[in-house]
Amino acid sequence: MDGIDAYLERLASSDPTPGGGSAATLVGAFGAALCAMVARITGAAPRFAPVRSEADAVVAVADALRARFVAARTRDEEAYARVVTASALPKSTDDEKAARTASLQEALAGAAEAPLAAAALAAEGVALARRTEALGNAHLVSDVECALAFFRAALEACAANVRINHRFMRDAERVRAQDERLAAILIAARSA
């Protein structure tokens, strides 16, 4: 079983990780890979010689973004695993309850931070898809449209994961700060 099939088996299992945030980063990585493919094909075609340097630049950005999404997937899985671990802490005594609550609150903040960072990557991806589209290869328009759809889906999924963690966080200031960052990311993606 290759990597993607093994990942899908893990995602479909009863284990809490990987979950939606992890899957969102994979969707974003697919978008970046498509942008790289379009730019590579376009840059290699003699009739697109006038945009070859831009195509090469898109490849470099897309490959780097794909690697960042892959790293974000690991961070998301690790962050949510800390929530699962904190949730399982004992809560029989007042001291145990206090320790569990503190650990869980910190873990939830991290579990919101991971998809927030991935949302920023998805917003970069939306801009990258627009840049890829501007290369002008009409034969690969559907691939660019798929990339854009993947980035948008990743962005919405990441935002959903940020928001669900906020429902359980008690630190209103931290929630507000993360909400403001998320709003700015969403605005940036819409304007791309």
**pLDDT tens, residue by residue, 6-22:** 999 999 999 999 999 99
**pLDDT over 80 (residue 1):** no
Q: What is the pLDDT of residue 141?
A: 97
Averaged over 120-146, what is the pLDDT? 98
Averaged over 106-128, what is the pLDDT? 98
Averaged over 74-81, what is the pLDDT? 97
pTM of the model: 0.94
Residue 56, domain member (yes or no): yes
**pLDDT over 70 (residue 145):** yes
Residue 10, domain member (yes or no): no
**pLDDT over 80 (residue 153):** yes
Q: What is the pLDDT of residue 100?
A: 98
- Residue 184 domain boundaries: 19-191
Residue 88, domain member (yes or no): yes
Residue 3, domain member (yes or no): no
What does the mean pLDDT of the chain come to?
97
User: What SS3 string covers the chain?
Assistant: CCHHHHHHHHHHCCCCCCCHHHHHHHHHHHHHHHHHHHHHHHHHCHHHHHHHHHHHHHHHHHHHHHHHHHHHHHHHHHHHHHHHHHHCCCCCCHHHHHHHHHHHHHHHHHHHHHHHHHHHHHHHHHHHHHHHHCCCCHHHHHHHHHHHHHHHHHHHHHHHHHHHHHCCCCCHHHHHHHHHHHHHHHHHHHHC
Residue 103, domain member (yes or no): yes
Residue 1, domain member (yes or no): no
Total domains, the chain = 1
**pLDDT over 90 (residue 120):** yes
Averaged over 168-173, what is the pLDDT? 97
Residue 6, domain member (yes or no): no
29: CATH: 1.20.120.680
Residue 9, domain member (yes or no): no
Q: What is the pLDDT of residue 2?
A: 74
